[in-house]
């Protein structure tokens, strides 16, 4: 299992999210408290962010080393400031390659996507059924081998097929499609996801045949006013709320939070 982080709100330096909190994403990489599979998150990292003033594609920084060994990220985190950030440290599923093509966040035009969870025995089970459902342009855009990127591909496929930009509907489609496939094949599937277009966050906590990984949200904390934070584990002591199981949480530009059940 991996550890995730999402932020939407007033522009902030990345170091205040990645390094400053007492139980930051850095600490969660080597000393997680709520992981149910694996011990550390030492198989790479990724950060994605949007320019606070320009409508451009998001920027990403990725590496395959443990985040605590990355010598460039601390300096980058002092320089970069953004009002929408996604971060991730990886605990790779056995058999999935440790290379940049498998590092998150995944991107497409204005979108950023990260995922914590797994499809049981993905390469031997649902790899082909998922790819068979993709339009050729989406099929060709998949460059890695992870289940995470294929969840994102299903989401993109729905957006392209519908001609709409409803991220909540697209994520719901991807999750329910894989859930149906997993149940039919008697497989376990878990998906804590965050997808963003720079103005909104759409978040899921969902699982079939297993327990969903931990996921929390926090709004307008005194340390981070005018902001919503999503995290696999609380970054510091505060009034964190556990995201409900089988739910999609949407954070709007006004930071209003809406929670819908996945049915």
Give me the active site residues, please: 2
- Bridge partner residues of 258 (DSSP): 250
Please give, one letter per residue, the 3-state secondary structure of 19-61: CCCCCCHHHHHHCCCCCCCCCCCCCCEEEEECCCCCCCCCEEE
Strands of the sheet with 106-108, listed across from one edge: 106-108, 111-119, 189-196, 201-208, 247-251, 257-261
Residue 230 C-beta-side C-alpha neighbours within 13 Å: 34
Separation of alpha carbons 87 and 8, rounded Å: 12
Cα–Cα distance, 256 to 112 (Å, whole number): 20
């Amino acid at each position: 299992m991996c550890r995730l982080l999402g932020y939407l709100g007033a522009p902030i330096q990345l170091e205040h999210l990645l390094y400053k909190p007492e139980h930051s994403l850095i600490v969660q990489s080597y000393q997680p408290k709520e992981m149910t599979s694996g011990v550390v998150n030492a198989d790479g990292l990724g950060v994605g962010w949007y320019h606070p003033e320009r409508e451009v594609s998001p920027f990403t920084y990725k590496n395959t080393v443990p985040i605590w060994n990355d010598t460039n990220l601390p300096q980058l985190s002092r320089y970069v400031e953004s009002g929408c950030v996604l971060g991730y440290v990886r605990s790779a599923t056995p058999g999935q390659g440790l290379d940049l093509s498998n590092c998150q966040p995944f991107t497409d035009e204005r979108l950023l996507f990260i995922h914590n969870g797994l499809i049981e025995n993905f390469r031997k089970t649902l790899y082909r059924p998922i790819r068979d459902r993709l339009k050729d342009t989406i099929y060709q855009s998949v460059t890695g081998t992870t289940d995470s990127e294929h969840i994102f591909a299903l989401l993109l496929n729905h957006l392209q097929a519908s001609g709409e930009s409803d991220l909540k509907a697209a994520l719901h489609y991807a999750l329910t499609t894989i859930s149906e496939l997993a149940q039919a094949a008697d497989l376990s599937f878990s998906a804590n996801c965050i997808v963003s277009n720079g103005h909104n966050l759409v978040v899921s906590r969902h699982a079939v045949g297993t327990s969903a990984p931990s996921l929390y949200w926090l709004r307008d904390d005194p340390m981070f006013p005018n902001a919503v934070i999503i995290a696999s584990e609380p970054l510091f002591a505060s009034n964190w709320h556990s995201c409900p199981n089988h739910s999609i949480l949407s954070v709007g530009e006004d930071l209003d939070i809406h929670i819908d059940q996945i049915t």
